């Protein structure tokens, strides 16, 4: 499995006439080498590959990294420079979006004989098509998170502090098997629902309010991302109206997912419907984003999104309406593209959930 992933990196090196590509980003390192620690470098050469780390992780690397030698360094840049010189690697690519100017300057000083070449889009999309093992992990991660949300909703009642509910949800997720949470949960009730990134606050949830909950788990290194908007008590007419518009936009976009559809088209399907209902000015963000070893990764599903959906891609569909002074609704599922459509990985039903206040 790792060999096929490394072959993608090697193909990129060959395309650009490189001797090798340096990977510093730990998500890419994990993807290519299987290493789960917090410090290491992967070098994908056209004929061989190497993993470099320090003495803290050599024992761990011996268990996790297969298919290439592990090299221990005392000083990271010295170790990289010695490898490049020893292997005669003279034209080396690096992750343009994950390498700082300071790091590149220092690396160039250590290896002046090497030409370092920035590689951008091709490396950011290296992980966009998931293999079978990744899809299984993503499905399990989403199941853990969805089950935890459903188990926790009984605690969402009048007077509960948003932060306290978010903590209860995190505990439920951990009990269900999550290794971590994907991000700081959004719990935005009442008027705070107009904040697309309204992290859980000290506000008390009140009867009659909509509550938007954006949550996710981490399991086996992979993330989930899901949003539900629930109503605490019987919803009024406008709440039902706004929810119904967002739900229809969500459903239309999900139904349109298939190999070959452009990300811009998917965004336009949901956005166009919301605009037709008169709420286009209140949907400002893109429709979705990729999910995998990072909770936000390529592809970008937005008016500026490049490319088309491919079988094995995983991304979110998350339209919303956010009205200052009133509140908001967002509905989000994570989908995996199949040969003839898509399947939902997230599992909370998206009909409006009405809770006892």
State the Cα–Cα distance between residues 227 and 310, nearest whole angstrom.
Answer: 24
What pLDDT does 138 receive?
Answer: 98
Exposed e or buried b per residue across 284-298, where buried means at least 16 C-beta atoms within 10 angstroms of its C-beta:
eebbbbbbbbbbebb
Beta bridge partners of 211: 189, 230
Q: Could you tell me the mean pLDDT of each successive run of 10 residues in the chain, 357 residues long? A: 90 95 97 96 95 97 94 96 96 95 97 96 92 97 98 96 98 97 98 97 98 98 98 97 98 98 98 98 98 97 96 98 98 98 98 94
Does the pTM of the predicted model rise above 0.85? yes
Q: Which of 330, 346, 323, 318 is nearest to 223 (CA)?
A: 346
- Beta carbons of 338 and 309 less than 8 angstroms apart: no
Does residue 299 have a cis peptide bond before it, meaning omega lies within 30 degrees of 0?
A: yes
What pLDDT does 177 receive?
Answer: 97
What pLDDT does 357 receive?
Answer: 83
Q: Where are the alpha helices (DSSP H) in the chain?
A: 2-15, 26-33, 58-64, 76-86, 101-110, 121-124, 132-152, 162-175, 237-256, 263-276
What pLDDT does 330 receive?
Answer: 98
Structural domains for the chain: 2-124 (3.40.350.10), 132-355 (3.90.230.10)
Beta bridge partners of 332: 227
What pLDDT does 87 receive?
Answer: 96
Beta bridge partners of 265: none
Q: Classify residue 47 by burial, with Cβ atoms within 10 Å: 0-12, 13-18, 19+.
A: exposed
- Cβ-based neighbours of 11, under 8 Å, separated by 6 or more: none
State the Cα–Cα distance between residues 5 and 3, nearest whole angstrom.
Answer: 5
- Beta carbons of 352 and 243 less than 8 angstroms apart: yes
What pLDDT does 277 receive?
Answer: 98
């Amino acid at each position: 499995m790792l060999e096929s992933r490394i072959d993608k990196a090697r193909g990129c090196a060959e395309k650009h006439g490189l001797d090798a590509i340096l990977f510093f980003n730990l998500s890419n390192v994990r993807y290519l080498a299987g290493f789960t620690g917090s410090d290491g470098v992967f070098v994908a050469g056209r004929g061989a590959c190497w993993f470099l780390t320090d003495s803290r992780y050599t024992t761990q690397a011996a268990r996790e990294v297969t298919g290439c030698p592990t090299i221990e360094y005392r000083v990271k840049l010295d170790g990289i420079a010695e490898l490049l010189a020893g292997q005669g690697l003279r034209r080396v690519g690096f992750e343009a979006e994950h390498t700082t100017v300071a790091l590149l300057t220092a690396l160039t000083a250590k290896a002046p004989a090497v030409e370092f070449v920035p590689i951008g889009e091709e490396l950011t999309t290296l992980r966009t098509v998931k293999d079978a093992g990744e899809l299984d992990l993503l499905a399990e991660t989403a199941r853990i998170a969805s089950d935890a949300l459903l188990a926790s909703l009984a605690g969402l009642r009048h007077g509960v502090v948003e932060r306290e509910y978010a903590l209860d949800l995190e505990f439920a997720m951990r009990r269900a098997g999550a290794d971590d949470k994907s991000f700081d949960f959004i719990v935005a009730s009442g008027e705070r629902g107009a904040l697309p990134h309204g992290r859980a606050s000290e506000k008390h949830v009140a009867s009659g309010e909509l509550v938007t909950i954006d949550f996710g788990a981490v399991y086996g290194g992979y993330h989930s991302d899901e949003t539900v908007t629930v109503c605490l008590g019987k919803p009024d007419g406008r709440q039902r109206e706004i929810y119904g518009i967002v739900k229809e936009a969500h459903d239309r976009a999900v139904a349109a997912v298939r190999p070959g559809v452009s990300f811009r088209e998917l965004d336009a399907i949901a956005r166009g419907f919301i605009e037709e209902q008169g709420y286009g000015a209140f949907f400002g963000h893109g429709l979705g984003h990729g999910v995998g070893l990072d909770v936000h990764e390529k592809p970008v599903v937005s008016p500026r999104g490049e490319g088309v959906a491919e079988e094995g891609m995983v991304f979110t569909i998350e339209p919303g309406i956010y009205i200052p002074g009133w509140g908001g609704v967002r509905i989000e599922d994570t989908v995996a593209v199949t040969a003839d459509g898509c399947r939902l990985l997230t599992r909370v039903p998206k009909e409006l959930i009405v809770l006892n206040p």
